[in-house]
Structure 1
Amino acid sequence: MSYHASFVNAHCPVERPKPVTGTPVETLKVFIKFHNEIGADIEVFKHLVPSKHEEALLSYEYGRSGLGAKVYGFFKTQDGTLGRIDEFLDARNMEPEDVEDAVIRADVAKGLAMFHAMKTSLEKKAVEPYYEAYHKMDKLKALGKEGGVSVDNLVDYDFGARVRKVVDTLESIGGKAGWCIHDNQFMNVLVKNDSTEGESKVFLIDFEFVMQNYRAIDIGGHFMQKMFKWFDEESKIANCRKYTEEEKRHFCEEYARQWNTLTGDSDTGDQVFLESEYGYMLAITFDIHITLWFMD
């Protein structure tokens, strides 16, 4: 067993030795997550993010597609801590350079399209409430000054009015909505260590922030996140080039093809690309909001 603590949920892989004789009936390695109710502390998400049971249900339903981890069950420790036991995925965190591979890039696009269009038993809540609350937090200014960095302009910035313009534009061009992951940092995409011919090379994980939104926020967010490595100790800026327009358009073509297969729509890659340009701006706002929340 090895224990790891991240910003939100502690987790640990647990492995048993292979039996000396015979074939094991049960899996020998699992992934355990210890839960807290993330999102409930963030005003804008309070009534939108799934509970841990809802998140597990979503994970279970997505896991049956073969594109995510299977959910085995829940547990409660003696001190009352809740947790979940998932399939251990034989995969590594995606690196920014991975999406420069056309095959991996296409698999991420198809995986997102399948997630967005997924039919799930979760209650479908409107997109609009997501954009109704952006709060100033004066104590963050004090935290910034303690750290020797002024964040006054960031805290005071009128995100609400700017985001409203983007959302109005997305609405006017017919931007589509679906189940969005929001937290699209590359550590939430796993690249399989071994995949068979015709099988997706990636898994999508971590659904704490899943809610209905414009699909553009995930697509644009994916393009944006190529430039960041959030858990790098020396610098959060990835040492690589940005997504090129050619790569973005390839991603959007693959996405549109998968989306249309699942929904019967006739979206074009150009349509998805245009949505993604506005989604990029929404994703920036999401990450700033989360970063300020972590500071808080």
Structure 2
Amino acid sequence: METITNIPVAIPKDGSLTKSMIKNIVSIFLTNEWPNVDPETLVVTHNTGYANTNCVVERPKPNDDTHLEPLKVFLKIHGELDGEIEVFKHLVPNKHEEAQLCYDYAQSGPGAKVYGFFQTQDGSFGRVDEFLDARTLEAADVEHADIRADVAREHAVFHTLATQRKKKPVQLYYGAVTRELARYHKMDKLKKLANEGGVNMDHLVDYDFVSRIRRVTDRLESIGGKKGWCIHDVQFMNMMVKNNPKQGEGKIVLIDFEFVFQNYRAFDIGGHFLQKMFRWFDEENKIANCRPYTVEEKRHFCEEYAKKWNDQTGDSDTGEQVYMESELGVMLAITFEIHNMLCFMDQDDDKDPLNILGLNKLFEEFINQYKKLGLAN
């Protein structure tokens, strides 16, 4: 297990870090050249997300342009609520386990190297990682066969990841999510919030997701659906496209492992197909202005996935098998998104019409997929 280094730094309550603090943290893990850097010469690019602080830290090039340690690193401070939804707390990794997953993924080849994992005096956890020269995946990217194949292979690599983390039965998740969806079923508060936001979603709130989820998982079991380490949060922002990959190296790197636990591999694959249609952090529209994955593109993805899965496991799965699973996985991924959005809606009294329109789009996709696969019969 990757060890935690205790460091003599306390994170201010507002989450801000001085350049001296940042330099001192990085220097604990990169001990040759970084300790000699003048902190005032550092260029720090901050990115504060939900309950966590990320920053890219860059030091000047040496005068002779020779260096053994990296000039850029990625620093992450985990917030108290980072990645946590209370009902899944017994499933998601703690911060130490998440760091270990990052380390194990990097050891498998594609992931960013973890230089060190630390805990500060005030109890905050953080990591210093390799900086990836990469951008986030865009919807248009997966319309190119080479990038789509790389995305498929990386999912297979992660799903079969060798890690010390204990595997928990997938039914622990489905027990938790169905209990919560049953609680939200016909909840007047949710209907009222949506109507106050100017969008009606009564049909979604009144819909019985619980029995449908059970039917989907029963079908997956009947066709021998395989399980693995699923990421669950497979939005396109959590996939990076390398700008200058080395020869023979894939273009795609997966990031953000706050929700990793065992599930049907179909969940992530179907979820990836679904997420092409959404831009959850867009301030103007949560529904992407692009075409969905075509059947041909999905089948190509599943063929590439199956090849890599078989390389990793010694199995002899076909692309058709993976495709059949993924068609069911779409609905599992939809109910995960719907649960999480209803949870925040209930907790935070959220009535943002863009979020509610996104919810209705998810519901529409679920209804259409359920009908297409003949599960209503």
TM-score norm. by structure 2 comes to 0.74
Q: For the Cα contact (< 8 Å) 1:221–1:284, is it kept in 2?
A: yes
Partner in structure 2 of residue 174 of structure 1: 224
Partner Cα distance (1:81, 1:286) in 2: 28
Determine which of 143, 159, 179 is the counterpart of 1:116. 159
Q: How many residues align?
A: 295
Spell out the pairing of 1:204-283 with structure 2 (5 A cutoff): 204-283=254-333
Determine which of 111, 122, 137 is the counterpart of 1:68. 111
Higher relative contact order (CA 8 A, sep 6+): 1
| CA shift digits 1:49-96 (9 cap, x unpaired) | 000100100110101222111111233456543222111110000000
List alignment gaps of at least 5 residues for structure 2. Answer: 1-43, 348-377
Partner in structure 1 of residue 128 of structure 2: 85
Spell out the pairing of 1:1-296 with structure 2 (5 A cutoff): 1-36=44-79, 37-43=81-87, 45-77=88-120, 79-133=122-176, 134=178, 135=180, 136-137=183-184, 138=187, 139-141=189-191, 143-295=193-345, 296=347
List alignment gaps of at least 5 residues for structure 1. Answer: none
RMSD over equivalenced CA pairs, Å: 1.8
| More displaced 10-residue stretch of structure 1: 66-75 or 253-262 | 66-75
Partner Cα distance (2:255, 2:84) in 1: 20
Partner Cα distance (1:48, 1:144) in 2: 30
Q: For the Cα contact (< 8 Å) 2:95–2:125, is it kept in 1?
A: no
Displacement, 1:42? Answer: 2.8
Partner Cα distance (2:129, 2:191) in 1: 40
Three-state SS of the structure 1 residue aligned to 2:212 is helix
Which one has the largest radius of gyration? 2
Partner Cα distance (1:153, 1:79) in 2: 47
| More displaced 10-residue stretch of structure 1: 284-293 or 102-111 | 284-293
Partner Cα distance (2:283, 2:84) in 1: 28
Partner Cα distance (2:84, 2:301) in 1: 33
| More displaced 10-residue stretch of structure 1: 181-190 or 18-27 | 18-27
Partner Cα distance (2:70, 2:285) in 1: 38
Q: Which runs of 4+ in 1 moved over 6 A?
A: none
| CA shift in 2, pair 1:237/1:115, >3 Å | same
Three-state SS of the structure 1 residue aligned to 2:47 is coil
Partner Cα distance (1:142, 1:27) in 2: 53
Partner in structure 1 of residue 353 of structure 2: none
TM-score norm. by structure 1 comes to 0.93
